[in-house]
Amino acid sequence: MFNLHKSGSMSPLGERARAYFEQLQRAICAGLESFENEKYFTEDRWERADGRHPDQSGGGGLTRVLEGGKVFEKAGVLTSTVFGGLPESLALKMNVSPTEFYATGISLIVHPLSPMVPTVHANFRYFEQANGDCWFGGGTDLTPYYPYEEDIRHFHSVLKKACDANGSEYYQRFKKWCDEYFFIKHREEARGVGGLFFDYLRGDTEQYFDFVRSVGEALLDAYLPIVRKRMNEPWGERERAWQALRRGRYVEFNLVYDRGTTFGLETRGRIESILVSLPPKVEWHYNFHPAPNSREAKLVELLKLPRNWVE
- The span from the CA of 99 to the CA of 56, in Å, is 11
Angle at 294 between CA 293 and CA 300, to 5 degrees: 90
DSSP state of 290: P
- Strand ranges in the chain using DSSP code E only, listed in sequence order: 42-47, 58-67, 72-85, 100-112, 119-129, 134-143, 183-184, 189-190, 195-201
- The span from the CA of 215 to the CA of 303, in Å, is 24
CB 178 within 8 A of CB 159: no
CA-CA distances (angstroms) from residue 86 to 40, 80, 137, 238?
36, 16, 17, 46
Catalytic residue among 111, 121, 154, 156: 121
- The span from the CA of 219 to the CA of 215, in Å, is 6
CB 247 within 8 A of CB 281: yes
CB 78 within 8 A of CB 62: yes
154 catalytically annotated:
no
Q: Quick check: helix, strand or coil at residue 236?
A: coil
The residues carrying an active-site annotation are 121
